[in-house]
């Protein structure tokens, strides 16, 4: 894999931070390329060297976090729901400003859908509707129920500015997933 120039990484980090910071101040639709340029301390031309527009920047930022969460699921496939949820909540904690902006403030409405889709994709292999407590249930309905509940609780956690520590959130979400799947 080719080594990426540190200046490029530094610029991309600055732009990603700038878009999150600006979204905490105003609606995404009202953010201009000039706003991003000023906040990240780069020229407008530099932005266009890295991204097509502000939507591309936001999309790349969202995909970056979704990819990390997806990879975390793969790495944690042998763990319990509680153990793997703890890894996610630690990631949420480390990236609080991003997730808070995307979930609590409704800064990017399509993020919730992407997050929900990821959870559905990951939970579909966990649902067992052939035996046990879920025998006879519709698998799609069960998976969507669990994924939607997970997203709703995480949104609640960010909206209420972390009313419980992330490890408590993980323990209780993990327990609820284990009970329902």
Residue 1 banded pLDDT, cuts 50, 70, 90: low
Calpha distance 124→2 (Å, rounded): 35
Q: What is the mean pLDDT of the chain?
A: 93
Tens-place pLDDT, residues 109-163: 789 999 999 999 999 988 888 988 999 999 999 999 999 999 999 999 999 999 9
pLDDT score recorded for residue 163 = 97
In angstroms, the CA 81 to CA 102 distance is 24
The answer to whether the CB of 84 falls within 8 A of the CB of 132 is no
Range with lowest mean pLDDT among 3-12, 62-71, 165-174: 3-12
2 pLDDT higher than 80 = no
| Residue among 64, 19, 9 nearest 40 (CA) | 19
In angstroms, the CA 53 to CA 56 distance is 5
pLDDT of residue 4: 75
Domains of the chain: 1-51 (1.10.10.60), 61-180 (no CATH)
Helices (H), the chain: 6-25, 33-40, 44-50, 54-75, 81-94, 96-99, 109-123, 139-159, 166-180
CA 15 vs CA 82, 94, 164, 174: distances in Å: 34, 18, 31, 35
């Amino acid at each position: 894999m080719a080594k990426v120039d540190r200046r490029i990484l530094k610029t991309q980090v600055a732009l990603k931070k700038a878009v999150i910071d600006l979204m905490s101040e105003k609606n995404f639709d009202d953010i201009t390329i000039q706003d991003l340029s000023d906040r990240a301390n780069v020229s407008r031309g530099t932005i266009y060297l890295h991204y097509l527009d502000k939507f591309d920047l936001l999309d790349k930022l969202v995909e970056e976090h979704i990819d990390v969460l997806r990879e975390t699921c793969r790495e944690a496939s042998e763990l319990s729901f509680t153990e793997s949820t703890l890894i996610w909540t630690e990631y949420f904690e480390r990236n609080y400003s991003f997730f808070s902006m995307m979930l609590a403030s409704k800064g990017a409405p399509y993020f919730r859908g992407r997050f929900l889709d990821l959870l559905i994709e990951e939970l579909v292999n966990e649902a067992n509707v052939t035996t046990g407590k879920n025998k006879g249930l519709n698998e799609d309905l069960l998976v969507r129920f669990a994924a939607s509940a997970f997203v709703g609780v995480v949104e609640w956690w960010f909206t209420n500015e972390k009313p419980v520590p992330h490890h408590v959130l993980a323990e209780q979400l993990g327990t609820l997933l284990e009970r329902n799947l």
